[in-house]
């Protein structure tokens, strides 16, 4: 009886041992397969990346990003809509002496005044004068020939302009047009002072700086302003 029990116990121990060995063997095989698969994926990944990069480059060649360059005629219409481009303003002060009836009898019939004039001069570029012949494109570069800068406004600031002193003869009430004439001369002198100080040159420089940024924003890679050939 004891011998039978021992035989049965040995049998079950043998069965459990065989099952344990088979389990360990199967686990080893699964781990080996997973490791082999991982290595294969790692080996394939660089090739996949290279294929993807190559596909991207081929796509760039076959379907390049377009470069859009606006039509100069269209640009001219847009720029003309700016009308007069005021690019600089000068504030000038001048002292004007106006007199009449001076001479030996000036103390009787003369009229003399000192006028302190504060004026404003505004200069810029009249873009309405820009024509199709003034814009051209060569090798992607926009060449622009702007109209000459000009004076738009010369005016007195009445709040700051005044008669500093006036002397009239004892036998006259003064010339009623003397101050008006002084104001007219003052405007001419204020504009002359602004021109002598180079207002037109600064007006052109400021206009070119503004339009350069505008043209670049419209898609041009480079903008060159062309000056007219000086006449001999």
pLDDT of residue 217: 85
What secondary structure does DSSP assign to the chain, as a single string?
A: -HHHHHHHHHHHHHHHHHHHHHHHHHHHHHHHHHHHHHHHHHHHHHHHHHHHHHHHHHHHHHSPPPPP---HHHHHHHHHTT-EEEEEEEEEEEEEEEEES-STTHHHH-EEEEEEEEEEEEEEEEGGG--GGGEEEETTEEEE-PPPPEEEEEEE-TTT-EEEEEEE-TT----TTHHHHHHHHHHHHHHHHHHHTTHHHHHHHHHHHHHHHHHHHTT-SEEEEPPPPPP-
Number of domains in the chain: 2
Beta carbons of 164 and 98 less than 8 angstroms apart: no
Q: Domain check: are 40 and 103 in the same one? A: no
Q: Domain check: are 134 and 220 in the same one? A: yes
Beta carbons of 110 and 87 less than 8 angstroms apart: no
Give the domain-ending residue among 24, 49, 65: 65
pLDDT of residue 84: 83
Q: Domain check: are 101 and 83 in the same one? A: yes
pTM score = 0.62
Sequence-ordered list of residues with C-beta below 8 angstroms from that of 132, at least 6 positions apart, any chain: 72, 73, 76
Q: Is residue 182 part of a domain?
A: yes
pLDDT of residue 133: 86
Q: Domain check: are 24 and 90 in the same one? A: no
Beta carbons of 86 and 120 less than 8 angstroms apart: no
Q: Is residue 200 part of a domain?
A: yes
Q: Is residue 231 part of a domain?
A: no
Give the domain-ending residue among 46, 65, 84: 65
Q: Domain check: are 45 and 148 in the same one? A: no
Q: How far apart are the first and last CA of the chain?
A: 139
Q: How confident is the model at residue 11 (pLDDT cuts 50, 70, 90)?
A: low
Of 72-86, 90-104, 172-186, 192-206, which range is least confident?
A: 72-86
The values of phi and psi at residue 122, to 5°, are -115, 130
Q: Domain check: are 102 and 57 in the same one? A: no
pLDDT of residue 191: 95
Q: Mean of the pLDDT values across residues 23-30?
A: 59
Domain that holds residue 4: 1-65
Assess whether pLDDT exceeds 90 at residue 187. yes
Q: Domain check: are 50 and 159 in the same one? A: no
Q: Domain check: are 97 and 189 in the same one? A: yes
Q: Domain check: are 83 and 47 in the same one? A: no
Beta carbons of 127 and 85 less than 8 angstroms apart: yes
Distance (Å, whole) CA 142 – CA 75: 11
Q: Is residue 230 part of a domain?
A: no
């Amino acid at each position: 009886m004891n011998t039978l029990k021992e035989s049965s116990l040995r049998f079950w121990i043998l069965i459990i041992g065989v099952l344990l060995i088979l389990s360990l063997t199967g686990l080893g095989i699964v781990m080996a397969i997973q490791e082999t698969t991982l290595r294969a994926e790692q080996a394939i990944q660089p090739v996949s990346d290279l294929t993807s990069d190559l596909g991207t480059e081929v796509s760039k060649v076959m379907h390049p990003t377009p470069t859009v360059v606006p039509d100069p005629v269209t640009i001219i219409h847009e720029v003309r809509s700016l009308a007069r481009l005021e690019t600089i303003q000068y504030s000038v002060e001048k002292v004007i002496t106006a007199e009449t009836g001076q001479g030996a009898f000036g103390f009787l019939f003369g009229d003399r005044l000192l006028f302190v004039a504060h004026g404003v001069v505004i200069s810029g570029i009249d873009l309405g004068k820009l024509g199709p012949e003034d814009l051209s494109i060569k090798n992607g570069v926009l060449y622009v020939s702007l109209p000459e800068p000009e004076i738009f406004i010369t005016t007195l600031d009445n709040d700051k302009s005044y008669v500093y002193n006036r002397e009239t003869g004892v036998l006259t009430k003064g010339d009623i047009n003397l101050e008006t004439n002084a104001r007219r001369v003052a405007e001419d002198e204020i504009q002359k002072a602004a021109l002598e100080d180079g207002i037109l040159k600064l007006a052109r420089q400021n206009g070119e700086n503004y339009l350069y940024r505008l043209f670049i924003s419209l898609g041009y890679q480079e903008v060159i302003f062309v000056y007219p050939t000086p006449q001999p």
